[in-house]
Every structure is written in C-alpha cells, then in structure tokens.
Chain A
C-alpha cells in the first residue's frame, strides 16, 4: 500500500489555481484598458468630426481643405475595432450596443459632412451607405460587407462606406431609413439611389466605375 501526500495535492492545487486565476485576471484587466482606449479613440474621433464640421463651415467661406480620405480611414478603423470588440464581448453586450449607436450617429454626421464637401467643393467622393443586420440575412449581410470593404480598399480615394446596423433603435437612424426607403437588409444607397438585396462584385464595380467617371 503506497501513501498519498494529501497536503502536497492541496498545495499544488492552490498554487496552480492562483497562477491560473492571476493569468485570467491580468488578461481581463488588459482587455478593460483596451476597451477604455477604444472609448477614448471614439470620443477623439467624435471631437475630430465636430471640429471638421466647424472646418467645413469655415471652408464654405474660404476653401475646401478637408482631408476626406484620412477622415474616412479613421472612421473605418474605429468600425473595425468595434467589430472586433463585438466578436469578443458578444453583440448583446451593453457597451457594444452603445458604442455601435454612437458609431452610427458619427457615420451619419460624417456622411452629411462628406455630401456637403462633395457638392460644395466639387470633390470626387462616392458615399455608400450600407444597411446590415446581425439578426436577419446574416450571411448575405456579411457577404455584402466583405464586398463593400473590398471596394473601399480598392478605391480609397473615392469610395467611403457607412455601415449602419438596421436594428439599432435610434430616431436619427429611423429618419435616415425613411428617407432612403430602407425596408430590408442588406440594402445599399449609392449617391441617393437605393439598391435592395445582395449586390455582387461585378454589379457594384459597374456602378462605382460609372460614378467615378461622372463625379
């Protein structure tokens, strides 16, 4: 009959558990810091857009000096970060929902700004509004998002994509949906014309190339 040292098992269990829990707590702590950095970046961007609104007002008086490509890239990066956070924390997380709502409002504000720049400053910008949902036609929405992201990367000097979650409950977004008669997802609005359902690469390429020629 061999002896079993129970104290040793208990000691090892305690040490291993302590290391394990410490590892998890450290990682979660860093995640929290990163989340707060995202929130900070988002506030920064909002301030930035507000200041650019002011700049646009000034531009009316003087000249159009707004760097739209840089602005669009910053918005896109924020969107990617929110996407990653959503994957990590889940789409039902309260912080994520609020971040996405803020992001939608920022997108609408940027769209308004860019439309104004396009019209008043004669800049070549193709604003694409993309309505998607995480609850309906998810695969089609993901596919459409992927194709639009491709065009944003292919024509970074012209194409700006505003991805808006159809299910977000916001009066501004509702008005936006009403204006463009959005009743289903995925839907795309390209320069005031609404396209319903998934649009493949070729269809969109034709529209975009045509618009680039026109704008």
Chain B
C-alpha cells in the first residue's frame, strides 16, 4: 500500500465514467476504433482503400510494429526507452557503411556483404540495449534518463560517422529484393513484423521470460523475493528492445536505399504512442503484443489518412503529440478506477 511517487491527490469519482471504463477494458477499445476508422476513411478519404495505398500502409506500419513491440517489453518491466529512434538511425548508418565499405573487396559475394552489414547493425542495437539495461538493472538509475543519454550518444555517433550525408552503396539484392520487394503480393517487411509478433507472442504466453517480465513490472520486490533473476531479465529486456529497433532500422534502411542519420526522428514517440494506445500501462506489468500491433496499425492508418488529405506533416507532428497525451490520460483515468489498493 505504498503511495505512488507522483500521487498528488486524485480526481473525484464518477459512476457513469466508471462504467465506460469497465466496458473499455472488457471489450477492447482498440479493435473497434480501428474498424470504425477504416470504414470512415474508406468513405471520406480519397484513394484510401486502393491496393497501392493499402500495401503502403501495411509496409510502413510493419516498421513501427517491430519498434513498438520492443518498447512494449520495456514498458512492461516498468521502464522506458527513449533511445529507439536513435538506435534506428545508428543501425541505418552503420549497416550501410559496412555494406558500402565491403563492396569493393567482396563484390562477387553479395550475401556476405549483406550479412556483415546486418551483423553490424544488430551489434549497434545490442550495445545500446546493453548499456541501457546494465545502468537500469545494476545502477538503479532512471530508465528515462539513461535512454536520453544513450539516445544522444547514438545520434551523435550516427552523425559523426556520416557527417549528416546519406550513405549509398548497399547491394542491389538487399535493396530491391528485401527492402522494396513483394513476397506473395505483400511487402517483405510485413512478414518480418508478423514473425516478430509471433515470436513475442510465444514469449509472453509460453516462456518463463514472459512471466518474469510481468512480475518485474508488476511487483519488483515480490519478484526478487521469489528468486527471479531480475537483473538478468531486465538487461535482457532492454537488449531485446534495442535489437528489435535495429531490425526495424535494417528493414527501413533497405527500403529507403541508403543509410541515414536523420531517419524519421518521430519514431520514438510513435512507438510509445502505439504501445499506450494498445493498453500497455506506463506503470508496468500490463501489455499484449497483439494489441500493440493493432496500435501501430491504428497510428499509421491515421497518419496515412492525414497524408492523403494533404495535411502538412509538420501539423501531423502536432497531432501526434496531442494523441499521445490523450491516450496516456485515458489510460491513467481508467487504471485509477480499477486499481485495487
């Protein structure tokens, strides 16, 4: 019954609102909203439900899904990862540099070049996640601050390595075959996202780690006392999140065709937004990967519609900010009702 650290006194109760939130929790706000949104946009937004656009949305949301799933895991252990966007940039840059650098020597072995690049990219994610995880688990410092620090380091490194200029020279097979290719009519990234969602689904429901993640986020003391190796799993979670960010970065880079340090700077916020919309609690211990995938889809359908309606991307940024705050507000208000002292 310890007080929450930022509890400054709650809002007054309201019975009708109470019922609304219980409904929200039971049925799942998100799937309904998603369907409503799709129907609305199909009717009112030009060129929304045509095949090229649908493929576009699916492809774009795949990158976010992978990112958001990683963020979800970190949120579930009661943490936060503000460095995912920076990891994407660093991965993009390092994988492109390695691949471009090896092109001269191994021109006849594109597979090896690609492998080297991929490993370099994943290595970056692994490293950043390791730093984040170790600091949080062993130094007990705030995950917000650590990831802010590593984000700065990662972004700075990415800029330093490229001087802000895009890196070209990745193997054609990588870019056209993987990045921009269609496998059985669907963008390759979609399969990647589905694979990752499947893996995490198994993780959450069928492995020890899945339970431990909930335990660590739900009641760290209980987990420690029960003999859960909390530090190990904390580090593992942060590493997993950053590696997922790397994977997303690799796929995104392949699609763009060049390594960019300035790659989409909103990704971090979008990953958090997708997770929160999907019902992942900022306090930890709550989250389902299927919902997060839907959350990412939701966000991207919204952005896509705004693009089609030619709403300035800069204004879209403003909307994103508002959406995040509202989503979190809703989450906070609903948990306040259902929380048992």
Partners in one complex: no
